[in-house]
Amino acid sequence: MSGNHTSTTNHNKDFLLGVLKLSQYRNSTVFENSNFFVLSPSVQNKNNWFDLRKVNLDKFPSKKKGKLLIRLYDDFILIDLREFISKLLDNNPYDTKNSGIHWKFQIKKSDGNISYIFNTKTKEKFFIEKLDRNEVLKNMIH
């Protein structure tokens, strides 16, 4: 893996743990509190790619609100996890020895500065907005 993996995975983790009051499941991208199940990949690479692993998605309890909280450099992208799953996860994931079953995504900008996430296999797009810490906090209270 290129780059500093520890620095990447810890980027803005203090915000998730201290401000949002989430608990991290082991050393994964899974965070939770009594109301929310949060997958929070950290995107700190020049191609803005990330993946979601089936093993982490399988931990998502049906009774909780689900959020995908992408830590994109100093911005955040907050998405309803169930909506993201229904629109971007297909039945043809990658399956590798190191990552297991997973889906790969990339964050891009189109003409007009509109940002979106796309599935690297299906090319399906999901349009997004970048948020700051205060906007995430306001959305995570509800």
Average pLDDT score over residue span 66-78: 95
The domain that holds 48 is classified in CATH as 3.40.1350
Nearest to 80 by CA among 50, 124, 38, 25: 38
Judge whether 41 and 50 are in contact, CB under 8 Å. yes
Domain region containing 17: 5-141
- Count of domains in the chain? 1
Give pLDDT tens digits for 5-36: 556 778 899 999 999 999 999 988 999 999 99
Please state the rounded mean pLDDT for residues 89-102.
95
Q: How far is CA 130 from the centre of its chain?
A: 13
Dist. CA 40–CA 77, nearest whole Å:
10
Each residue of 94-129: b (16+ CB within 10 Å) or e?
eeeeeeeebbebebeeeeeeebebbbeeeeeebebe
Q: What is the mean pLDDT of residues 109-131?
A: 91
Q: Residues 26-48: what's their mean pLDDT?
A: 94
Q: Is residue 136 within a helix (H) or strand (E), and if so which, with residue range?
A: helix 133-141
C-beta of residue 69 within 8 angstroms of C-beta of residue 60:
no
Indicate the helix (H) or strand (E) that contains 46: none
By percentage, how much of the chain surpasses pLDDT 90? 80
Q: What is the mean pLDDT of residues 119-140?
A: 94
Note the pLDDT of residue 7.
61
CA distance linking residue 72 with residue 69, whole number of Å: 9
